[in-house]
Structure 1
Amino acid sequence: MDTLEIANKLVALCKEGKYEEAKVLYAPEAVSVEAGAPPGQAREAAGLAAIKAKGDWWVANHEVHSAQVAGPWPHGDRFIVGFRFDVTMKSNGHRFTMEEMALYTVKDGKIVREEFFYDTGE
């Protein structure tokens, strides 16, 4: 698949809430980079197992009421996807809207890097 095909497939899966199924689009050595480190974790997760663990942490600690996905916006071997989530933190009941942009890099038909951009409050 080329970059645009991967981008369109990722967006379609995310719009259906199938984030785990989207991991088939990733290379085994893919790297995920957050704008800020989640509690008790590093900003960077390397490899599919680490990326899955980061996703599992998110699901365990947040209740997502709704999600919107926009894009993709392609640019060569990269593309951007926009996300907007209505979320409640399970630990304290704080409900908020999270908006983020994700930049994906594709190599040899697989996503090799994802970088998330959002307000960290810093």
Structure 2
Amino acid sequence: MTVQDIAQQFVALCQAGKFDEAGDRFWSDDIVSVEPMGDAAVMRGRAAVEGKRQWWYENHEVHGGETHGPYVNGDQFAVRFHLDVTTKASGQRMQMEEVGLYTVRDGRIVEERFLYRQG
């Protein structure tokens, strides 16, 4: 499977709201996930990244969103996400945009790196 194939299938799953399935299907066991901030800015390994995903769902209510892309270059692809979420602890609702930059090796996503825009 090419990077283009992986990127297209990953985005199609996200567009269908199947974010968990996209990760489960394409993440490497040794995936590294990099966020721009926070206590867990760098997570290493599938179990850690799955834990981060669980934390996200436990702490945020997702009202909706859009997924755009993929934008492919070599062994990487980018996806633009727009999310409408409420932080459960504060009750603050926000519109969030982020770009996920994914690196593929041997048919698996080995790194995901997120760049945010809030407003």
Q: TM-score range by the shorter chain?
A: over 0.9
List structure 1 segments (4+ residues) > 4 angstroms apart after TM superposition. Answer: none
Give the aligned partner of residue 96 of structure 1: 94
What count of residue pairs does the alignment treat as equivalent?
Answer: 118
Q: How does 1:6-85 map to 2 (within 5 A)?
A: 6-22=6-22, 23-37=24-38, 41-85=39-83
Cα drift, residue 119 of structure 1: 3.8
Residue type of the alignment partner of 2:77: F
* 1:18 Cα deviation after fit: 1.0
3-state DSSP of counterpart to 1:63: strand
TM normalised by structure 2 equals: 0.94
- Indicate yes or no: 2:108 matched with 1:110: yes
Q: Quote how far apart the aligned CAs of 1:64 are.
A: 0.5
TM (normalized to structure 1)? Answer: 0.92
Deviation at 1:83, TM superposition (A): 0.2
Secondary structure of 1:17's aligned partner:
coil
Verify the 8 A CA contact 1:36 1:120 in the aligned structure 2.
Answer: no
Q: 1:87 aligns with which of 70, 85, 88?
A: 85
**How far apart, in 2, do the equivalents of 1:49 and 1:26 lie?**
11
What SS does the corresponding residue of 1:30 show, helix, strand or coil?
strand
Cα distance in 1 for residues equivalent to 2:93 and 2:118? 16
CA contact (8 A) 1:27 1:110 kept: yes
Instruction: In structure 2, list runs of 5 or more residues that go unmatched.
Output: none
Amino acid at match of 1:79: F
